[in-house]
Amino acid sequence: MTTETARARASAAAGRTRPTDPVLYELVTPGAGPVRLKDAKAYLKVDNKSDDFVVRSLLLAVVQYAEKYTGRDFRANGWKLLLDGFEDRICLRRSPVASVTQVQYTLAGTLTTIAATVYYLKKGPQWSEVLLLDEQEWPSDGDDVETTNEHTIEITFATAVPALLEEARSAMLRHLAYLYQNRGDCSSEEAARRSGATEMYDHFRVARL
């Protein structure tokens, strides 16, 4: 759990209010980066190990920026979606989704797993959805978010490495090079724009409706 998430939950509990955001995504298990350290160093023409930590840190910042900007995961990440309540169509706003591991809801203060025979994953070219199978319903006996002050539903799912990753990797290397050459003098966003990486990222960007 991130520090921001922990603080939000602590604040909600202290103030006896419902969670600030009815929908919250937590990155549980980050996947391997799309650009290896040795490939990044070769692109930057760095042949020593003294800058490994710097390059690795900047590379992570680039990947995180690219994922946030495009709305796509460029790593096979493990996610947890926290919700206030069930909906007929539960949209997973990460892409591309590979699988749903489990759907759980809070019953009497305990997370209870819902059988996989109740729902299915509908994969889409951008967002994917968790939908009910025919003649199935979501449980109605779960804890009330107004009472618990916490999200009452957790959906664990995984994303996959997208197609056309090579194009995205080229954009990240360009982004990284500018950020490395101007480290300490510009943000990830500014480096993406000035290096031309933003225009390349636009090819992968998920349309936000």
pLDDT along the chain (209 residues), means of 10: 42 43 87 96 96 97 96 96 92 95 91 96 93 94 65 92 87 98 95 97 84
Q: Which two tokens stand for residue 179?
A: 């950020």
DSSP H or E segment with residue 92:
strand 89-92
Q: What is the pLDDT of residue 2?
A: 46
The model carries a pTM of: 0.80
Peptide bond preceding 96 in cis form (omega within 30 of 0): yes
Q: What is the pLDDT of residue 188?
A: 96
Would you give the DSSP letter of residue 97?
A: E
Q: What is the pLDDT of residue 11?
A: 41
Distance CA 89, CA 130 (A): 6
Distance CA 176, CA 161 (A): 20
DSSP H or E segment with residue 148:
helix 145-148
